[in-house]
Amino acid sequence: MELKDAVAVVTGANRGLGRHLAAQLVERGATVYAAARRPETVDLPGVVPLRLDVTDEESIREAARTASGATLLVNNAGISTGTPLIAGSTDAVRLEMDTNFFGTLAVTRAFTPVIEGNGGGAVLNVLSVLSWLHPAGLGSYAAAKAAGWALTDAIREELAPRGITVSGLYVGYMDTDMAAAVPADEKADPADVAAQALTGVESGLPEILADETTRYVKQSLAASPNAA
């Protein structure tokens, strides 16, 4: 889709990758709603702050009413709690699934009729190399991102006849708060990842693989578990 003149809603746009995506959408000529659960923390010039907690149905409905001209939804908001599935707390597993999977689903359900009513457009889901690689210490996050992969593929087929293209962004560690504990030389620049993602949306790519690790893991999927 053409990003110039698009009307974009970016969840989790107050920091990290979401902030880069929102800033670069402005640079590419889009009108941008920078959605955040605390909109007062949005400090980007040229965007419209929008209150949106992806785990709160009422705030999602209100955001879809406010951003009624939307043609592009970027499901970027996410959390990583570092919870293993057996030894970790069930509450943490549920929170991660509620935010990363059900949050993405709920926001997409709310914005589908909006985007369709505006003549069609696109959805970009921010996923992870951990959609495909499932280390024990991040079991809960990986399960939620794997579910996000399935969601992305299933809704791509469901939304195509409604004029909405669906892309998934898959990436390893990025230099944001979420990966603060990871050594700098193992992290991608989120500005570069955002640029690749937006170019992928412009081209209608179903999958955007943003770094070497992710490309390697994807092509190794037929190997035995965790061989990658």
Ligand X SMILES: NC(=O)c1ccc[n+]([C@@H]2O[C@H](COP(=O)([O-])OP(=O)(O)OC[C@H]3O[C@@H](n4cnc5c(N)ncnc54)[C@H](OP(=O)(O)O)[C@@H]3O)[C@@H](O)[C@H]2O)c1
Using CB under 6 A as the criterion, which residues of the chain lie in contact with ligand X when the complex forms? 11-12, 14-18, 36-38, 52-55, 76-80, 99, 103, 126, 128, 171, 173-174, 176-179
d(CA 121, CA 72): 6
Pick 49 or 78: Cβ nearer ligand X = 78
Pick 110 or 174: Cβ nearer ligand X = 174
Q: Which residue is nearest to ligand X (CB)?
A: 16
Pick 10 or 115: Cβ nearer ligand X = 10
Q: Is 216 annotated as catalytic?
A: no
The nearest distance, CB 171 to ligand X, in angstroms, is 5
d(CA 111, CA 64): 6
d(CA 78, CA 58): 19
The nearest distance, CB 193 to ligand X, in angstroms, is 9
- Residue 73, CB-side half-sphere exposure with 13 Å CA sphere: 32
Q: For residue 118, which amino acid is it?
A: N
Extract the tokens encoding 219: 């092509």
CB within 8 Å of 221: residues ≥ 6 apart: 132
The nearest distance, CB 5 to ligand X, in angstroms, is 26
The nearest distance, CB 201 to ligand X, in angstroms, is 15
The H or E element that residue 26 is part of is helix 16-27
Pick 29 or 46: Cβ nearer ligand X = 46
Across the strands, what pairs with 169?
A: 126, 208
Catalytic residues, which ones?
A: 141
